[in-house]
Structure 1
């Protein structure tokens, strides 16, 4: 919402500063510079600070910039505010992607699509808020201003009337968007307070071990270059399709505006549909289908650039094919290597540079080479380059190191899940056994052991009575016999000795194996 609201309200911002649009166009460069700086800063801070706290502060800073923009009367102050909002948006973009990957891991496909669908939804809603909800009063006042000019009223009142209308109408869109962002920042602060309130639970939870591919740096660099061409083509097509339809295709202004809306509408709709597809389709498959569709549609737009029907169909297909590439690319690379804060900052900066360079290059070429379908040439070239880059990245990621990392990650997750399931099963079985074992079973076990003890004592007494050495002192192992059940010794009675061996019966009894077994049993008990 913060990104797309600047375009529809640019004229009102210029009027609010008493300047022309050309004199404040530098605010786009200020925002892009702040966005790049915020992406780099967010990549560093995200590895050091709690993610919820960082995102909460970034959104709070964004809401402050949005609240202050309508009341800004100085060009330098406006440039500072726009740069501040750009920094916070860079932090949000980098931190949001990394937080989602850290939360969901390999299962982040549908959630990543949902995150970027919210970007497209915000870009679709903010112009409606700026022009449809708060634009009626401005148009009515502009009409009254033109009628006043027709009756020869002094032209000095016109800037005041127009300035008043701009403050009262479209500028309030910044306040509404700022309030919405402030509410979202409060939610992140609540998440941070809840997470800090239970540190033991978080510290005890095992984190996902980082896995880095063998060619991690090269893979992230190629992905940043991939996003450079992809995002640059997306922004360039969305920015210049209105001019292309009006100047080159000779469409009426209303139809050119509808063509522009069709591109962004198909883009947002297919990004929403990609949430469902990502749950059952691999990210690499989505990327390949999107790249093939973009190549076919851009080639058709180049070959049939004079036909209006093909322009409408090709724009629709091209917008749909561009929808799922960025989130699918992030989900795909997460399968082969860990996307840290610095890694996410790298490809976000690449996307921001593409957003700056390619539209500016196209605008420069349109001024030098008019009446040529340069927009369609750019779309075809970028689609071809990205279609070449992705197989190279796939080959690099599927090398020995990348394949081993992916298998190790899947095996680690599987072992963790199996251990958790096994432990849960054992715990449930133990709980059921404890619940089933009542006091009756415990009493029966005690009775069995007591009966066994009495049997052993009776057998020992009988053996001593029948023994010729009964007049002698009882052997010292008799009291120990009460400690062992009869099941341990199948024949617990002592074999009677011959009459002549009466003098040696006691030593033999004390050194018997039965004595040793009973002694060991007593020690164990």
Structure 2
């Protein structure tokens, strides 16, 4: 959600960040590693904190810390200071994503509106940065100031996060005394027979899914421009189409979730992503197919993560530690798979490696989900929570 789009904004502004600290791009590439390391550390810290303090309060404070880090980035003139703020942002983002994963099902109507607004809001910023990149200013003495206009993106995002943090404090004031009701009707935690195996498989599931999502969103512009020979403006539009369909479908999914089981939504997402990635492999040079399949692929990826959390919660309890495991898996996928694509693109420029990765990860997730379902419904497991019971739990914990 918010944090994923923050990651996406870093790409279009990376050159200006290097210019701001008077370094070459290659000399500050370690800020990605620093932020990713902080993100994993924040995910692990969040897994502990969300089990011992109010989640809304912790989300509010984490969002303020992220906003302060965003405010500071444009004023960093030293690479070491920039890296330090990137690490701190990574930590707070890890805490935020762990908390969002923990609350996504239990507080559907309090989390999702913020998520959808942030998806559309920051997707617009990515589009603005992309247009600015393909419409450069003329060579003048004021190019330095002009090129650093992108730094305003961090100010705007920080302001948005700062405002949203007050909404979480409002939620805390309304339902701060409500305890986490992650128990079955008997007062005992619902634990699947193969709980650890399910958590590990979903860890791998999110590793592949998030890695493919970030890789596609990061490299589709380069792929369209260099491999499919699209004009830069069209390539930027293709990038925005992916994130736009992603955000729009996630918004509609709020309504679909009220009448459709999470497992059904996952199956539809897997079908759409596998079919669209297969067509992207077969027709990677066909511009119409690239536009259509990119839109379908973005829409198919939109609800996989929240549906996966909701699906597992039907069979077993998701604690802060469990949510942290999922976020760490997603973070590792976000680190490894895009880096692998970037490494291989330089060595095999004439191959549609991005589309191969999309097909491979879609096939992997399509295979692993039936295995998870088989383990979740194995004899001796508690079984799936009835829809009515899950709705009552959600209503009891909303606090409205």
Give the superposition deviation at 1:248. Answer: 1.5
The CA distance in 2 between the partners of 1:100 and 1:52, in whole Å, is: 12
Partner of 2:232: 253
Structure 1 residue 80 corresponds to structure 2 residue 84 = yes
Identify which range, 376-385 or 242-251, moves more after superposition: 242-251
CA distance in 2: counterparts of 1:189 and 1:263, whole angstroms: 33
Q: Does 1:389 align with 2:368?
A: yes
Q: 1:118 to 1:219 in 2, by over 3 A?
A: farther
Q: Deviations 1:418-441 (Å, cap 9, x if unpaired)?
A: xxxxxxxxxxxxxxxxxxxxxxxx
5+ residue gaps in structure 2?
A: 395-400
Measure, in 2, the Cα distance between the counterparts of 1:195 and 1:311: 47
Q: Does 1:219 align with 2:223?
A: no
For residue 172 of structure 2, what is the aligned residue in structure 1?
192
**Structure 1 residues 410, 241: closer, same or farther in 2, change over 3 A?**
closer
Residue 399 of structure 1: CA displacement?
1.0
1:191 CA drift (Å): 3.9
Cα deviation 1:23-55 (Å, max 9, x = unaligned): 222222221111111111101111012212211
Q: 1:242 and 1:298 mapped to 2: Cα distance?
A: 16
- Structure 1 residues 165, 395: closer, same or farther in 2, change over 3 A? same
Give 2:152's aligned residue: 172
Residues 208, 361 of structure 2: 8 Å contact kept: yes
In 1, the alpha carbon distance for the partners of 2:55 and 2:392 equals 28
What pairs with 1:281-296 in structure 2 (closer than 5 Å)?
281-296=260-275
Aligned counterpart in structure 2 of residue 406 of structure 1, from 375, 384, 388: 384
2:226 and 2:181 map into 1 onto residues whose CA distance is: 59
Asked if 1:50 corresponds to 2:54, the answer is yes
- What is the Cα deviation at residue 100 of structure 1? 3.8
Would the aligned equivalents of 1:111 and 1:275 in 2 still touch at CA under 8 Å?
no
Q: Which stretches of structure 1, 4 residues or longer, exceed 6 Å deviation after superposition?
A: 409-417
Cα deviations by residue, 1:51-100 (Å, 9 ceiling, x for unpaired): 12211221121111111111111101100101111111110111122134
Contact map agreement 2:247 2:302 (CA 8 A) in 1: yes
Q: How many residues align?
A: 385
Q: Which aligned pairs between 1:278-427 and structure 2 lie closer than 5 A?
A: 278-402=257-381, 404-406=382-384
User: Aligned ranges for residues 12-27 of structure 1 at < 5 Å?
Assistant: 12-27=16-31
Residue matched to 1:127: 126
Q: Distance in 1 between matches of 2:393 and 2:208?
A: 39
What SS does structure 1 have at the residue aligned with 2:10? coil
Instruction: Give the match for residue 36 of structure 1.
Output: 40
CA 1:125 to 1:260, structure 2 compared with 1: closer, same or farther past 3 Å?
closer
Q: CA deviation at 1:411?
A: 9.1
- Root-mean-square deviation (CA, aligned residues, Å) is 2.8
Of 55, 65, 69, 2:69 maps to 65
Q: Counterpart in 1 of 2:397?
A: none
Rounded to whole Å, the distance in 2 between the matches of 1:271 and 1:212 is 29
* Distance change in 2, residues 1:415/1:56 (3 Å): closer
Gaps (5+ residues) in structure 1? 148-157, 418-525
How much does 1:253 deviate? 1.8
CA, structure 1 residues 207+333, in 2 after alignment: closer, same or farther (shift >3 Å)?
closer
Change (3 A) 1:310 1:416: closer
- Structure number with greater CO (CA < 8 Å, separation at least 6) is 2
| In structure 2, distance between residues paired with 1:307 and 1:130 | 26
How far apart in 1 are the matches of 2:316 and 2:307?
Answer: 15
Determine the C-alpha separation between the residues in 2 that align with 1:416 and 1:258: 42
Q: Distance in 1 between matches of 2:123 and 2:76?
A: 25
| TM-score (normalizing by structure 2) | 0.87
Distance 1:295 1:413 in 2: 30
Equivalent residue in structure 2 for 1:244, among 223, 234, 240:
223
Cα displacement (A) at 1:246: 1.5
Alignment check: 8 A CA contact 2:228 2:285 kept: yes
- Asked whether the equivalents of residues 113 and 278 of structure 1 are also in contact (C-alpha less than 8 Å), the reply is no
